[in-house]
Amino acid sequence: MNKPLRRIAVFCGVLILGLLVRTNYLQYVRADELNSRDENRRVRIERYAHERGNIIVDGGVPVTGSVETKVGDFKYKRVWKNGPMWAPVTGYSSQAFDANFLEKLEDGILTGNDDRLFFDRTLSMFTGEKKQGGNVVTTLNAAAQKAAFQGLGNKKGAVAALDPQTGAILALVSTPSYDPSTFAGNSDADSKAWKKLSTDKDKPMLNRALRETYPPGSTFKVVTAAAALENGLYTSIDEHTKSPLPYRLPLTTGNLENEGNIPCENASLREALRLSCNTVFGKISDDLGNQKMIDQANKFGFNKDVFTPVRADASVYPKDNRPQNAMAGIGQASNRATPLQMAMVAAAVANDGKLMQPYMIADRQAPNLDVIYTHKKEQLSQPLSGENAQKLQQMMETVVQSGTGTKALIDGVTVGGKTGTAQHGLNNSEKPYAWFISYAKTDKGSPVAVAVVVEDGQANRDDISGGGLAAPIAKAVMKAVIDSKK
């Protein structure tokens, strides 16, 4: 071969090699990135080319489905049963606007494209069966979800309920809510529905149970009491605390006030929680100091994201100065918490100090219903000892028996709880938030812990209280769980 031909051959070889390298780079290195790009319409077309698998509650009841469409590139679209009630759990799956929450995170299982379903896909190629998606079985209790949704009604707020012994999420409700079916397609009507929901000032698409943080108010006094016991500041829940009345906030000229003329001077921990004494718990927080309060809050899950697998925003107990730390100890100042976080606090107390990792996926199923994944419960932390947890149980049960939480009483069941009315807005200018956290105990242990927050803008300011607005909702949810286990 002469020299010019040899050069041409080498040049062509380099071009072919470059083409092979580029092709392999795109197909293997960047495949996932290119598949997930919003501009890649083929991915969405394939996602809706067959019926998606279902999201299931109570071990066998699907709350989702698929219907065949008559126009466009997408053969099927997603539908929901009682969409507004279940949207905070399932999220949405839209031909035009992608997906979120379980519909997004579990897309591989629901479409049948997950690597664990490779055998099923391969088998269907030989049998001629149409491709199907797998199912996601959640831990959600339909009766508890309904009780929470109906309890909130037209009020703005959220409910989170857990099984303290396993961490299973039993209810997750946020109101106002939305129906994912209204924009599941790809039409002008779907676009209008999406725009309306996206611009609604009440934010119906915000999952308040996981993604909104509120001042927890007096419900946080349970954490402050735990810090007092765990750090040995007090060992008995019935001994007098060193709590003067009035109590001046440290480094200030102002007093920390209680709600009304209640006997909080040197009140015991039990009595201070029953009456919800700001002065007692504000002083405890200051006596312990900011770092010990942060450490205790962190053991309950504060200051880090929680994955259920849907991400819940981090609740915050802040690093702050002395007066602000005293206020944070009663759930005010820059202290912020999600309803899920406060349900975790109640669950840890109910479970003798053990905090289990919250989760909402029990099983994943192949299209033929074979189980390919089963969740194994996992302990997240040990916020307090068993002995101190039982002391806190006595305190919370006193709150319900004869304190501010009597509206959560359930016949034949032991209930512990804590009310909260959290100040809101600059100089408390807005209507407060009503909180209630609680747990129920039967002779078989504690099957449920609940956190409820209500933002009721329609109520009279003087009528807003955790015991009045939130406790009855928590009671209904706890009763629904207990009744469902009979």
**CA 86 to CA 144: how far, in whole Å?**
12
Measured at the CA of 259, the angle between CA 254 and CA 264, to 5 degrees, comes to 80
Return the number of other C-beta atoms located less than 10 Å from residue 322's C-beta.
15
Location of structure tokens 């001046």:
248
**CA 209 to CA 353: how far, in whole Å?**
23
SS3 158: strand
CB 298 within 8 A of CB 243: no
CB 364 within 8 A of CB 106: yes
Nearest alpha-carbon partner for 423 in 316, 330, 332, 315 = 332
How far are the Cα atoms of 278, 344, 345, 388 from residue 353, in angstroms, in the given order? 24, 11, 9, 8
Contacts of 262 (CB under 8 A, 6+ apart): 275, 277
* Tokens encoding 204: 């119906």
List residues with catalytic annotation. Answer: 218
**CA 458 to CA 446: how far, in whole Å?**
34
SS3 403: coil
> For the stretch 224-248, what's the b/e string if a residue is b when 16 or more beta carbons lie within 10 angstroms of its beta carbon?
bbbbbbbbebbeebeeebebebebe
* Tokens encoding 64: 């989702």
The dihedral through the CA atoms of 190, 196, 197, 199 has a sign that is positive
CB 134 within 8 A of CB 110: yes
**CA 436 to CA 419: how far, in whole Å?**
5
**CA 364 to CA 135: how far, in whole Å?**
6
